[in-house]
Copies of this chain bind each other. A is one copy, B any other.
């Protein structure tokens, strides 16, 4: 991992720790990691594993995903892509082939609608996209 990411990860952890008003030792104890190691992580000298990040996140009462994103091993969720295609591709509950199958169905519908605009039927649906905010 590039030291830049590690640097920002450590800064982030230190900031969250200070926000929570924990000393280094308190957080290390709560997280079940050694305090020297936590110090090294905060100063960007070591690159902790995902398991360690999980432990630290739990002790800080933040989501592990937040630290994964800071560490560069997870991308921030795109809540609503520019379209349904992106939403399908971004869905983590289905696999690539299932995504391709859904996209194929969707493309077939689009093609059908281009060739026969009347087939859309009841498109009075103007509800705004679901406000799927990033989880806290």
A residues neighboring B (CB under 8 Å): 1, 49-51, 54, 61-66, 68, 71, 73-74, 76-102, 105-106, 109-110, 112-113, 119-125, 127-130, 132, 135
Contact = CB atoms under 8 A, between A and B. Distances in A.
Specify which of A1, A76, A77 lies most central, judged by the most chain B CB atoms within 10 Å of its CB. A77
Contact of A93 (B71, B87, B110): B110
Nearest to A73: B50
Nearest to A101: B124
A132 B102 contact: no
A92 B105 CA distance: 16
A109 B83 CA distance: 20
Contacts of A85: 130
Specify which of A62, A77, A95 lies most central, judged by the most chain B CB atoms within 10 Å of its CB. A95
29 contacts: A49-B50, A50-B68, A64-B73, A64-B74, A65-B74, A76-B93, A79-B135, A80-B90, A80-B92, A81-B87, A82-B130, A83-B91, A84-B93, A85-B130, A87-B87, A87-B88, A90-B130, A92-B123, A93-B109, A94-B106, A94-B110, A95-B122, A96-B121, A96-B123, A98-B113, A101-B105, A102-B105, A102-B106, A105-B105
